[in-house]
Structure 1
Amino acid sequence: MRVDEIEFWQPWPALLPLYETLRDALVERYPDLRIKVSKTQISFYNRHMFAMASGPWRRKKDWPRQFMLVSFGLAHRLDSPRVAMASEPYPCRWTHHVLVEQKEQINAELLSWIDEAYRLSAEK
């Protein structure tokens, strides 16, 4: 893991292991993965950005205090209780946000959604 990735999580050190679990899974799955760290998120790219991880910069009243927000784009809206928020910034482009509080939540279901986002991004 790069230094800038580690530094990103300094305000929330308990979330670094969650990020590391997600990052390791994505690095293993996608050999062409590129990672870009910005002030508010860490973005994952193939040809285009397909997923992001961020800390609890903004949180709704009923959300937990500590969580990693995993976001990804799909061509359709997911119907899952795991999706905390979804928006359609462009026609047929849905951004989904999933709250991750435990490593076990970075599971086959979440990774299958990210796989779909990866494929969609690669096809653009």
Structure 2
Amino acid sequence: MNLDEQMFWEKWEPLLPLYETLKQRLVETYPDMKIKVSKTQISFYNRHMFAMVSPPARRRKDWPKSFIMVSFGLPYQVDSPRIAMSVEAYPNRWTHHVSVESANDMDEALLGWIDEAYSFSQSKR
């Protein structure tokens, strides 16, 4: 983990192991991906951004107290109780947000959606 990533999680240090688990799974699956740290999120790129992770800086009352928000983009809206929120940012480009409270939440469903997002991002012009 680089210094930018460490500094990003400074305020949310207890969530760092969740981020490290997610990052490790993504690095193993997509060794060519790039990581960009910004003020509000850490983004994962191939040709374009395909997934993001952010801390619970803003949260709704019905969301868990401690979690990381994993977001990804797909050409359709996923209908699942796992999706905390989804937004059609552009026509046929949906951004989905999933709250992750434990490593167990990084299951086949979430990683499958991220894999779809990776392929979708790779195919964009």
* TM-score range relative to shorter protein: over 0.9
The Cα of 1:56 is off from its aligned counterpart by 0.5
2:84 is aligned to 84
Q: How big is the shift at 1:15? A: 0.5
Distance 1:115 1:57 in 2: 26
SS at 1:115's partner residue?
helix
Letter in 2 for 1:121: S
For the pair 1:101 / 2:101, whether they are aligned, the reply is: yes
Matches of 1:79 and 1:88, distance apart in 2: 13
Structure 1: segments with no counterpart, 5+ residues: none
SS in 2 for 1:12: helix
What TM-score does the superposition give when structure 2 sets the normalisation length? 0.97
Q: What residue number does 1:36 align with?
A: 36
Structure 2 CA distance for aligned equivalents of residues 14 and 102 of structure 1:
11
Which residue does 1:74 correspond to in 2?
74
- Name the CA distance, whole Å, in 1 between partners of 2:17 and 2:31: 21
1: CA distance between counterparts of 2:72 and 2:99? 12
SS for the counterpart of 2:39 is coil
1:55-98 deviation digits (Å, cap 9, x = unpaired):
01111111122110000000010011000000101110000000
Q: Distance in 2 between matches of 1:17 and 1:76?
A: 31
Query: Which residue number in structure 1 is paired with residue 56 of structure 2?
Result: 56
Structure 2: 5+ residue stretches without partners: none
> Aligned-residue CA RMSD in angstroms?
0.7
Identical positions, percent? 64
Aligned residue in 2 for 1:116:
116
Could you tell me which amino acid in structure 1 is paired with residue 13 of structure 2? Answer: P
SS at match of 1:47: coil
1:9-48 → structure 2 map (5 Å cutoff): 9-48=9-48
Please state how far the C-alpha of 1:3 moved relative to its aligned partner.
1.4
Quick one: which amino acid aligns to residue 65 of structure 2? R
C-alpha displacement at 1:107, in angstroms?
Answer: 1.3
What's the TM-score once normalised by structure 1's chain length?
Answer: 0.98
Letter of the structure 1 residue corresponding to residue 57 of structure 2: W
What secondary structure, in the 3-state scheme, does the structure 1 residue paired with 2:40 have?
A: coil
